Amino acid sequence: MELTIKKIIPFLSLALSLSVSTLQAQENMFDAIPKMLRNGEVSTILAEFSDQPQTLAQIYVNMGRPDKAHNMIQRFSKAGYCNVEPEFEKVSGKGLAEELLADQKIVMINENHFNPAARAVALSWLPWLKAQGITHVGFEAFEPDAKQTEAFYIQEPMMSNLVQEATKLGLNVFGYEAETPAPKGAGFVERFEFRDKQQAENIVSRIDDAPADARFLIFAGWGHIAEAPLTGPNLEPYRVMGDFLNNRYGYETLSIDTTACSFEGRNKDPLATYAYRHDDNIINVGSVQNVDIQLRLPMAPADDPSYFRQLLGEPYLPNIDKWPENASVILQAYHPETEFPADRVLSEAGQKLPLYLNSGSYHVTLHDLDGNLLWDKRINLRKK
């Protein structure tokens, strides 16, 4: 593999510590969100996180509105560390990943939880990843053997479709999230390492149970894929899942970061990716941790809620007279046989935003944001 130039972003530890502490403090609420979303209890969810911008951005993404996370994503995209030198060569992100995939047994891709771009790209990559020999896909999104449809991350439309498409392609889909919480009173480093060591152990267990020629795609958030320890809020080092895999369990991974330095997605190409090279070096300018490749992905424009969700199918809007003109609503479609979300979108007062659905049968509901059911129907869609 070529020499990789890496640059670590100081505020990553702050972003990670916010995410971890928020998840710990709001654990019961997060567990309840899938059912609350299904029941349309949006006002309650939004009120719970009104003072937590990073988590609120993630909540809006789960409601089909990545455009509402635009300002938050810009914080990770517009700073000086994202600047590149004129001599750097801009190359296809997918092309670079294909070039380096080779015989790697484990490919790790991370994501920014409030930018669905990585989920959209991974969804589009699944067929060629399978053709390259990937047999298993592991998700941080749910615990081993847990009911997938009840996981918080799975409520976001792109993630839900990513999991379902991997299953349809015959890939072995599994969750590797930690099942045992950190001890009470644990500090940042102990809490993070306690979780990530379990994640690595769960992945290793799957590898041990798989055929010798099995190859794994591991989908994770933020710094979990780092191949070396990160630095915490007090400048103390801490170990993460990718570090454990590489340096405790002896697996060489191909790590692909997609979380930093997104670009404005104005060209209606939500699958665009690019990277930088200089001579024989991969240039990871702005990468948030020790990784092999940094890919830059688009962010949803602030005025385009459909930017990523348009990939899911044709627009569908029920023709009903119960759509309130002066109130916000949430429109949702579920697969009746699996209960997986197919798509979901929050429309503010005066808006009528469509779902994006492929041919098939769906259970579609419309609620106001206080959870009052306005419309409920099973539908069958066919290609036009």
Q: What is the pLDDT of residue 321?
A: 84
For the cut 60, the answer to whether the pLDDT of residue 9 exceeds it is: no
C-alpha distances in angstroms, 191 versus 20, 28, 33?
8, 18, 23
**Percentage, residues of the chain above pLDDT 90:** 73
Structural domain contains residue 39: no
Residues 246 and 234: their CA atoms lie apart, in Å, by 25
The tokens for 225 are 């894929």
Domain holding 379, by residue range, is 313-384
Measured CA to CA, the distance from residue 264 to residue 307 in angstroms comes to 11
Same domain, residue pair 116 and 249: yes
Q: How confident is the model at residue 110 (pLDDT cuts 50, 70, 90)?
A: very high
| Banded model confidence at residue 26, pLDDT cuts 50, 70, 90 | low
CA distances for 136 relative to 122, 162, 213, 214, angstroms: 14, 13, 11, 7
Instruction: Tell me the per-residue pLDDT of 116-172, one tens digit each, with 9 for 90 and over.
Output: 999 999 999 999 999 999 999 999 988 887 788 888 999 999 999 999 999 999 999
If asked whether residues 95 and 153 sit together in one domain, one would say yes
Cα pseudo-dihedral 156, 162, 164, 170, rounded to 10: -170
Q: Are β-strands 237-238 and 230-231 bridged in parallel, bridged antiparallel, or unpaired?
A: antiparallel
Q: Are residues 324 and 265 in the same domain?
A: no
Angle at 17 (CA atoms; ends 13, 22), nearest 5 degrees? 155
Strand boundaries in 58-205, DSSP class E: 89-92, 106-111, 136-139, 172-175
Indicate the residue among 299, 323, 358 that finishes a domain: 299
**182 found inside a domain:** yes
Sign for the pseudo-dihedral over CA of 221, 227, 229, 235: negative
Q: Are 201 and 340 in the same domain? A: no
Residue 203 confidence (pLDDT): 98
Q: Are residues 358 and 243 in the same domain?
A: no
Length of the chain: 384
Are 219 and 259 in the same domain? yes
For the chain, how many structural domains are there in total? Answer: 2
Same domain? For 93 and 203 the reply is yes
Q: How far is CA 256 from CA 13, 130, 133, 224, 345, in A?
A: 18, 17, 17, 11, 29
Distance of alpha carbon 221 from alpha carbon 110, whole angstroms: 5
**Which residue in 76, 63, 62, 67 sits closest to 12, CA to CA?**
76
Does the structure show a pLDDT above 60 at 246? Answer: yes
Q: Are residues 176 and 243 in the same domain?
A: yes
Q: Is residue 130 part of a domain?
A: yes
The single-letter DSSP state of residue 294 is: E
Q: Are residues 281 and 220 in the same domain?
A: yes
Contacts of 3 (CB under 8 A, 6+ apart): 280, 281, 282
Residue 125 and residue 242 in one domain: yes
Could you report how far apart the first and last alpha carbons of the chain are, in Å?
A: 47
Number of other residues whose CB lies within 10 A of the CB of residue 102: 9
Handedness of CA 45, 46, 49, 53 (dihedral sign): positive
Examine the pLDDT at 4 and tell me if it is beyond 60: no
- The span from the CA of 113 to the CA of 90, in Å, is 25
Structural domain contains residue 206: yes
- Residue for token pair 């569908």: 316
> Using CA of residue 50, residue 43, residue 59, residue 79, what is the dihedral sign?
negative
CB 119 within 8 A of CB 230: no
pLDDT of residue 173: 96
Across the chain, mean pLDDT equals 89
* Residue at a domain's end among 247, 274, 299: 299
- Between CA 134 and CA 216 the distance in angstroms is 6
Q: Give domain status of residue 44, yes or no.
A: no
Domain containing residue 269: CATH number: 3.40.50
Instruction: Answer whether residue 27 is part of any domain.
Output: no
Question: What is the Cα–Cα distance from 45 to 155, expressed in whole angstroms?
Answer: 13
Do 317 and 266 fall within a single domain? no
